[in-house]
Every structure is written in C-alpha cells, then in structure tokens.
C-alpha cells in the first residue's frame, strides 16, 4: 500500500503538470511529496483519497473542478489505470484499488520478508544517540522511570528499524547531595547492614535509606542538612572512608537497577557517570567568554544572554568559577560527540526540563557545533497511579519491580481462573510476559507529551486496547497455524492472493500494507503510540476477518491455503510491531 500511494502521487503530479501546461502554456514541476494522502472515512468512497485544496490557487480552479480534471487524466493513463479506478468526490481524487493484484503483492511482500517486513531506509546513514533512563543511585526505578525507559528503548528500536545506526546511552546520577543523604542515613540508622541481611533487593535497600533520611530531616531539618553537606564536602575532598561507603552503596543501587533493566528488556551501549562528567564544560565556557559569546557580571560569574530566544539570561559559572548542571551538560554533550560522532542526540527527559534543553541547545549552537542543530528533547509527561502523585522522599513512590510483580500475580490469577496452566506450559514465565506486555503497551499507547494515569487493572484486561489483548490475538493466530504444523489439518491448495476479495480480507490486507508507513511516522515524530495504535487496528482487522472469513471451512482448497497464509502474514507483522513497543509475543495463553 505504501508503494502504491507513492506511485499514485507520482501519477497525480504528472497529471497536474500536464494540466498546468494545457492551461497556461508554461511548464511547472509538481512535487509528488507535497500531495497529501488520506484514507476515506467510508470504504464505499474508495481506498485512498488525495485532497487537491493546496493546488486550487495555483491552477485558478475550484478544488472539485481540479479533482475532476485529474480523474479524467488518470483514467486515461495506462499505468495508473492498472492500479485501480478513480472517482472525483468533492475536492478529492479517490482511488478504488485493484484488489486481486494488490492482495497478491502485499501477501507476497510480507511472507517473503518475514522479520524484515516493515523495515525502511528512511534513516539510512544517520547516526543517532539516544539518552534515556538516567537513574539516581539513591533509589530504585519507579513508575516514572519505567515510562522513560519504555520510551527510550522503543524509540531506539523504531529508529533502528528505519535504518538508523543507534547508540543508546545512560548517564548514572551517582553523586551530589541527594546521594549523600542516603549515605548519611545509612551511617546513622543502618550501619553494618546489607541488602542480604535485611532480605531486600539492593536498590530498594538504598531507597529505604533515602526515605529514612527525609524522616530524620523532618525532625531535625538544620542538623540533617548540615550533616549531608559535610558528607558531600568529604566526598569532594577525596576522603577515603566516604568514598568507600559511596562506592559500596552505589554498587548496591546499580546492581538492583541493572536487574530491573534485564527484566524489562532495557539495554544500553554505554554508561556515563556524573561523578566523571560533572566537572566538564568549564573550559568550553571560558573559551566562549574569550570569544565574546558570554559575559561576566560584576561579581565574576559568567552568564549567557538569552534574549535571542525570548528568554532572560542564564548563569554558566558561579562567581567562584564552579560549574552548574547546565555547564556539565554542555561539556558532556561535547564529550559524547567525541566518543561517538552522532548526527543527532535525543534526550528522553520529562517535560519539566523543557527550559533546560532549550537553553542547552541554544548554547551549543552558539559555541559553533554543527551537530547542535539536530539535538532533540523527547519531552514526556508525568505518570501517576489513580491514587495520586508519587513522592520518593516520602516513600510513596511506586517501585517498578513491585508494580511488575503485582501485574504478574494478577496475570497468574487469570491463568489459574481459566484453568490454562497446562496449556501455557510455564505459567510463571507466561504471566511475567503478560505483565510486561500490559505495562509497556499501556505506557506507550499515550503520546509522550501527555500526562497519564497508569491503571494496573485496566492494563491487564484481555479485551480492549491493551497489551494482553494483542498477546491473546497472537496466541489465537499461533493456535490456527499449529493445526497445520502438527498435522491436525492437512492442506492441498495453493496460495492465490487474487482470491482475497472479501471486504474483511481487503481491510486486513490494507492494514498489513500500511505497517511500514506507520513505523516511519513513529520514527519521524519520536512517538511509539503510532505503532501501538497500529497494532490495535491490526488486531481488530484480524478479528473481523476471522469472524467473517472462515479459514478451514472456506471450502475451496486454494482459498483455505490463502487465508491461512494471510493469518501467517498477520502473525509476522504483529511480531515485528510488538518487538518495537516491548510487548512480548506469546504463542499460547
């Protein structure tokens, strides 16, 4: 379908060009890419629609008259006429595609390509670095991190699927006052204890220390803050005992976080550590000061004027010459480009940091880095539970592992209630995959910019727009295909795509053909919700097909075989799409 659309755009551009010559005697080039493609709201109006509003002024014709003239030209065009028939409906050129030919092409394309179907060269030659997760080593990953991780991993997979060379990085925030607060609480209240002695996951133990510090600080605010600052000074001065405790607690936190990454299918090509990057950027700022890009205030601090981007100003170096987070991020970006020369760097960070990244990108451009033109902040909204907002310092945060465990246990109950333990093989393993499918699909089906409420009960539903529903559809298709693979059903027919002319078959084929374009759309917009929406549409289309078009009871052996291969094509595309949005495929449920 995607190739057909591009082909038709070319034919329409040619028809418009010929019409312009006929009207004016002059030659003009019509860019085929500028021709919009839509899907008619009612199948009776055609399969594809091309609105011609945009060309009415140039041709000095009403859009309906222009559409009628293009339809006449296309109908007389031998190659275009082979694609289908054309009809003018208002300002649209609507196309009724030749079903049999397109059905055969689409089915063959999916079956021949297999796991490669949907891959495009849209981003071939692009080197894209994606930074995401960025956990603090004073607490475990929580629900907010899980949204960040899912977005970063999914976008990375989608970009790679579209041909980009992708490099995933993670900066571990392993220093600073917040880390020292956990360390202080450990010294005061947990000294000598370990995660093993307390029987808790190692990052959860460090998080418990952070919660304990904040309880202590409520009772002794000035004392607690002073003690934490003193511990930070000891760390900065290189005190051996402080560094030994810091390494020990960071090791606990990182080990626990890595377990959660492995569990959720998140991976990275390189880790950066704030303890190694927090001093970077100072030299670049001083060089920019010498070039007149920045200026000094009377107290000696260094600032950048942001009036060019309609903001005020931003301090880059304090009066004592020390750096800030902005300075550090400037230096880290430059350092990373030296590590891996990217064309684009995507930061997956919450929407509350929009100002920070707007300023960061402006400063890097001001410093003259060409690659700064393509820096991108993938801004995402907050995620909470129905009970309300989470606060890590008060211990009301939703631990990521606890949430997945609850989803897994809920899935296990469902498997048990339906008596499916033997059918699924390993109930615990299947329940874990259902939990991950529920979690990731729910987190990714909302556009990243929107705030969202994660409802665990809704996410686990086996009906409706959920991950488990998709997994169920995949298991149903696998069950159908197993009947042939195990010899329960024997087939003698041949695959003949031209037999797929039923409306439900046609809609399913058009949905399959649309997959590459939806992946490209997700890549261009850095938005996996295009893929999750596609998956739901595909599952609904298959459900209609399965209801309206019996496979084994089709009668005609060729039609039985062809419909079975259509089901196999759906399975292929579903697997490919589910992999992009971190939803495990299940062959039985």
The three state secondary structure string of 330-368 is: HHHHHHHHHHCCCCEEEEEEEHHHHHHHHHHHHHHHHCC
User: What pLDDT sits at residue 394?
Assistant: 52
Residue count (the chain)? 589
User: What pLDDT sits at residue 2?
Assistant: 53
Q: pLDDT, tens digit, for every residue of 140-183? A: 999 999 999 999 999 999 999 999 999 999 999 999 999 999 99
Q: 49 and 149, same structural domain?
A: no
In a domain, residue 108? The reply is no
User: What pLDDT sits at residue 551?
Assistant: 95
C-alpha distances (whole Å) from 110 to each of 48, 107, 162, 163, 510 are: 21, 5, 17, 18, 12
In a domain, residue 328? The reply is no
Written as six digits, the tokens of 527 are 């938005």
This prediction's pTM:
0.90
Q: 424 and 587 in contact (C-beta within 8 Å)? A: no
In a domain, residue 185? The reply is yes
Q: 433 and 364, same structural domain?
A: no
Domain end residue (candidates: 379, 394, 409):
394
Strands 383-384 and 270-273: unpaired
Q: 373 and 416, same structural domain?
A: no
In a domain, residue 324? The reply is no
C-alpha distances (whole Å) from 225 to each of 96, 206, 217, 298, 503 are: 71, 19, 7, 30, 69
Q: 442 and 411, same structural domain?
A: yes
Q: Give the CATH number, domain containing residue 363.
A: 3.40.50.620
Residues of the chain short of pLDDT 70, as ranges, are 1-2, 388-397
Contact residues for 39 (Cβ-Cβ < 8 A; gap 6+): 47, 48, 49
What is the number of domains present in the chain? Answer: 3
User: What pLDDT sits at residue 4?
Assistant: 82
In a domain, residue 334? The reply is no
Q: 151 and 87, same structural domain?
A: no
Q: 387 and 417, same structural domain?
A: no
Q: Give the CATH number, domain containing residue 88.
A: 3.30.1360.70
Q: 535 and 463, same structural domain?
A: yes
Domain end residue (candidates: 363, 378, 394):
394
* Three-state SS at 480: helix
Q: 405 and 389, same structural domain?
A: no
Q: 143 and 227, same structural domain?
A: yes
Q: 184 and 61, same structural domain?
A: no
CA 467 to CA 478: how far, in whole Å? 17
Domain that holds residue 157: 127-275+339-394
Domain end residue (candidates: 358, 379, 394):
394
Q: 367 and 259, same structural domain?
A: yes
In a domain, residue 89? The reply is yes
In a domain, residue 321? The reply is no
Q: 515 and 382, same structural domain?
A: no
User: What pLDDT sits at residue 322?
Assistant: 87
Q: Give the CATH number, domain containing residue 535.
A: 1.10.730.10
In a domain, residue 325? The reply is no
User: What pLDDT sits at residue 396?
Assistant: 54
């Amino acid at each position: 379908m995607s190739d057909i659309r591009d082909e038709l755009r070319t034919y329409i551009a040619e028809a418009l060009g010929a019409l312009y010559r006929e009207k004016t005697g002059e030659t003009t080039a019509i860019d085929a890419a500028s021709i919009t493609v839509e899907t008619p709201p009612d199948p009776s109006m055609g399969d594809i629609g091309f609105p011609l509003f945009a060309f009415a002024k140039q041709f000095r014709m009403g859009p309906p008259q222009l559409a009628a003239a293009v339809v006449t030209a296309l109908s007389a065009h031998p190659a275009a006429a082979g694609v289908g028939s054309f009809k003018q409906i208002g300002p649209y050129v609507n196309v009724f595609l030749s079903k049999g030919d397109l059905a055969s092409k689409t089915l063959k394309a999916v079956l021949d390509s297999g796991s490669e179907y949907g891959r495009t060269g849209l981003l071939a030659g692009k080197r894209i670095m994606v930074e995401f997760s960025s956990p603090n080593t004073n607490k475990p990953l929580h629900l907010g991190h899980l949204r960040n991780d899912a977005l970063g991993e999914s976008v990375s997979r989608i970009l790679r699927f579209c041909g980009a060379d992708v490099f995933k990085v993670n900066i571990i925030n392993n220093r600073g006052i917040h880390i020292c607060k956990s360390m202080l609480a450990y010294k005061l209240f947990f000294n000598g204890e370990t995660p093993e002695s307390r029987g808790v996951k190692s990052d959860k133990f460090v998080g418990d220390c952070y919660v304990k510090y904040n309880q202590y600080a409520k009772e002794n605010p000035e004392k607690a803050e002073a003690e934490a600052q003193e511990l930070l000074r000891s760390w900065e001065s290189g005190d051996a005992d402080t560094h030994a405790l810091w390494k020990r607690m960071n090791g606990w936190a990182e080990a626990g976080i890595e377990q959660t990454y492995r569990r959720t299918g998140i991976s990275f090509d390189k880790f950066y550590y704030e303890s190694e990057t927090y001093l970077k950027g100072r030299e670049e700022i001083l060089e920019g000061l010498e070039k007149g890009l920045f200026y000094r205030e009377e107290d000696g601090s260094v600032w950048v004027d942001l009036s060019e981007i309609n903001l005020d100003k931003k301090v880059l170096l304090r009066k004592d010459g020390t750096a800030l987070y902005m300075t550090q991020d400037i230096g880290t970006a430059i350092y990373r480009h030296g590590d891996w020369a990217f064309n684009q760097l995507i930061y997956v960070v919450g929407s509350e940091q929009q100002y920070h990244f707007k300023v960061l990108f402006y400063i890097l451009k001001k410093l003259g880095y060409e690659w700064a033109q393509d820096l991108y902040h993938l801004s995402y909204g907050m995620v909470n539970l129905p009970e309300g907002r989470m606060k890590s310092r008060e211990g009301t945060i939703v631990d990521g592992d606890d949430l997945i465990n609850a989803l897994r246990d809920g899935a296990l109950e469902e498997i048990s209630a339906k008596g499916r333990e033997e059918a699924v093989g390993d109930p615990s393993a299947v329940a874990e995959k259902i939990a991950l499918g529920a979690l990731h699909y729910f987190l990714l089906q909302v556009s990243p910019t929107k705030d969202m409420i994660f409802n665990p009960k809704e996410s686990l539903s086996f009906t409706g727009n959920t991950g488990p529903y998709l997994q169920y559809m995949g298991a149903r298709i696998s069950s159908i295909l197993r009947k042939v693979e195990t010899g329960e059903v024997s087939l003698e027919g041949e695959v003949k795509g031209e037999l797929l002319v039923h409306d439900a078959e046609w809609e399913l084929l058009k949905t399959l053909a649309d997959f590459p374009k939806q992946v490209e759309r997700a890549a261009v917009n850095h938005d996996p919700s295009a893929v999750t929406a596609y998956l739901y549409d595909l599952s609904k289309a298959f459900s209609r097909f399965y209801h309206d078009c019996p496979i084994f009871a089709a009668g005609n052996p060729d039609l039985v075989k062809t419909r079975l291969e259509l089901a196999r094509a759906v399975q292929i595309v579903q697997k490919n799409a589910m992999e992009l949005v971190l939803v495990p495929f299940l062959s039985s449920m």
